[in-house]
A = this chain, B = another copy of it.
């Protein structure tokens, strides 16, 4: 096996393989430069969308925003095309999570240009473009260089069964509490006119957000709300304990492991060990 790897590396690398390394991986200098440029471009594009949504700014710089919008859209379209060309299995990329996000981040601008007649309609659709912000998640491909991300993900994944049990308990508690306060406060308080409204209040209360848009008004309602707050607070601290205990264990386990940014060319998955030669998910050569 140690013989076969150098043998393979001396193979001539085609331009597609070269492009693949730049776009999908961040181990080579060119790949790092590409990812940092992409990160900055995405941040700027998100900033433009954010400023665009503020009416007072939009009315002033409408033209500049329109230009920036098209500039970023064309840039991301070229990038999307390059990804499809360089990927060994283009269809897998297209239907992977990041493939769908990449497409969704360029589609709205093209869709708007087709329905240009009614200006009000455009404004409404422009809001939908915000979904494009999801592309910012690609930053985490860089994040992989930080060993912290992998460790966090592993610890959170290890606690999934406990977190599920906990969330189920919270949801059941929310339903019962919402129904109880609807029963008590319902007739007098418009904020508790139905069980779903009561559940909204219960969630706002149990997560300690406490907007105050819906509050109990009757003495019995206040009394029950107080009990819910104290018990709810006791309940909601549990996941903190779960995650912390897991992280304390994980800290020992994962401290030795450094994870590369290599993406499997077959199944597009990440998280391979630095000494891995084959993808641990699909078995194809890395």
Contact = CB atoms under 8 A, between A and B. Distances in A.
Q: What's the dominant secondary structure at chain A's contact region?
A: helix
A100 to B, nearest CB: 15
Given A165-B152, A196-B53, A237 B234 contact: no
A96 interface: no
A164 B286 CA distance: 29
A3 interface: no
A40 interface: no
Interface string A42-58: 00001001100111000
A152 B238 contact: yes
7 closest Cβ pairs, A-B complex: A130-B179, A209-B210, A148-B162, A211-B212, A241-B244, A148-B161, A241-B243
Interface of A: 46, 49-50, 53-55, 127-128, 130-131, 133-134, 136-137, 139-140, 143, 146-149, 151-152, 155-156, 161-168, 170, 172, 175-176, 179-180, 182-183, 186, 193-196, 199-200, 203-205, 207-213, 215, 219, 222, 225-226, 229-230, 232-234, 236-251
Given A50-B195, A237-B243, 4 more contacts: A54-B196, A207-B229, A234-B239, A248-B249
